[in-house]
Structure formats: C-alpha cells, structure tokens
Structure 1
Amino acid sequence: MSRLGLPQEPVRNSLLDDAKARLRKYDIGGKYSHLPYNKYSVLLPLVAKEGKLHLLFTVRSEKLRRAPGEVCFPGGKRDPTDMDDAATALREAQEEVGLRPHQVEVVCCLVPCLIDRWGSRYVDEAGLELLASSDSPTSAS
C-alpha cells in the first residue's frame, strides 16, 4: 500500500509492462547462439520498487583471480547441462545471489558483447544479456 492507502500494484504492473514492451524491441532471440565461441551469459535483473525500476548489481569477491572486486551483473560460463543462454544466466543468478529461476521472467536477449576494464572487446567471452523482472531478489534465499 502507498502512504495514501492506495494499492501500488497497478503502477508496478504498468511500469514493468512498459519496460518489457520497450526492451522486447531489442530482442535478438537465438540469432548468435550458433557461434562457436565460449558462451557466457549474464542476467540484468530489473526490479520494480517504490514506483521505479532498479537493476541488481553484484560485487565480485576480492579473493577471485579474475576481475576481483568488480561490480557486475550475475552471470558466468555455460555448463554442459545448460539448455541455452537463458538457462546459464538463471543458474548463475541463483548460485550468486539466490534468485530462483521461477522468480524471474526472461524478457529479452540482447546483442552479445563484453568490454573489460582495459577497454577490450571480447566476442569469444561475450554472452547474451538477459533482462528479467522479479518481485524481490533479496527474498530469494
């Protein structure tokens, strides 16, 4: 409920529906899934909170060899058991932040690309970015 005692659900749904419609215009589907590169996928978790859209970021552990302490989206390398890029992103999001796949609605797959902190672009490391909405990623655990 809002401070005025009015339900906020219609605003939230309208906000998410508008975001989904806009983002679906950029959906590439499986256009690049046939490429023989290493496959990595990340999830861009989009959350409606207090009438605004927010993205969930993570901070990599300082103990990691690769990119320690960097701010990123949940994601990682595809496992042989992953059905597709969306499955990779959802599995990694569950492992990293406790966001369960049934809490996520995959909205679209964006063009693959990765630019690291040195400004290099790695197509072989690129994964399809997946945008999703969730009621509350912090309540996933």
Structure 2
Amino acid sequence: MTVLTDSQARRGGATASRWYETVDTVSLTATTAIRIKFNIAGNNSGTTEVEVDIGPNDFPTLLETMCIVNRQAAMGAMSVELARQIQTQPERDAKIAKAARLKLGELADQKYYAKPAGDDEHERIVMVGVEALNKEIDDN
C-alpha cells in the first residue's frame, strides 16, 4: 500500500459552512482498479473507512484532469513512468512467454493422458516435442 504524500481528504456536512476534519493519511493500492482509501471519525467515537475505486475506463479522464491541475507536473510524471514501463517490457514479455509455454505443456499433457492406452502415439510425440522445445528455450 502506497501513502499519498500530497493528498488529503476532508469531511463536512452537506449543509455545513466549513470542513471540520482533514485526513492527511490517504493510501493508494492497485489491482483491477486504483483504490484510494482513508479513515474518518465515525459515530460514537468509532472509525469509518472510506474507499474510492477508479476503474481503467476512467484513466483518460483522470489523466486529463491531472493536466488541468498542473500540466507540467502531469506530463513530467507520465514521461518518467512511460520510460520506466518501456524499460521493464522485456521482463514482462518473458513472463508472459513463459506462462504461455507452461500452458502449452499442460495442454499437451492433457491431450496425451486423456487418450486410451494404445491410441496416443501422436499426442505423446507432441507432448515430448513441447517438453523438449520448452527446455531448449529455458536453457537459452
């Protein structure tokens, strides 16, 4: 979980003339959406957790809004992150390729072992060939 260092959340009633609570600890996580999370005082001395999820379809709006707030800072941050993402692309491609090879091996095994004994020579050849190719790729 990442803590946002230049963000805050405020609390106040809809008809109140001012904000009466400011929360400086706002955290951020990301899985299938950007999740912004913070705690505010609740009823009876309790604590209320608040979460805001921002889905991928809203990313263009978020980026445009960032540019409205401070175009220079937004463009600079996007440039740095794009450069970092480009640097990590070969590693990401290798992980995807390895996962695909493992899946192919699993499918070849399933085809071979699903056949009745004596009827599986072609599937055995494919399974052994896939294993050999995956080993060769992994060794290089």
TM-score (norm 2): 0.22
Higher relative contact order (CA 8 A, sep 6+): 1
* Structure whose CA Rg is larger: 2
Which has the larger helix fraction?
Answer: 2
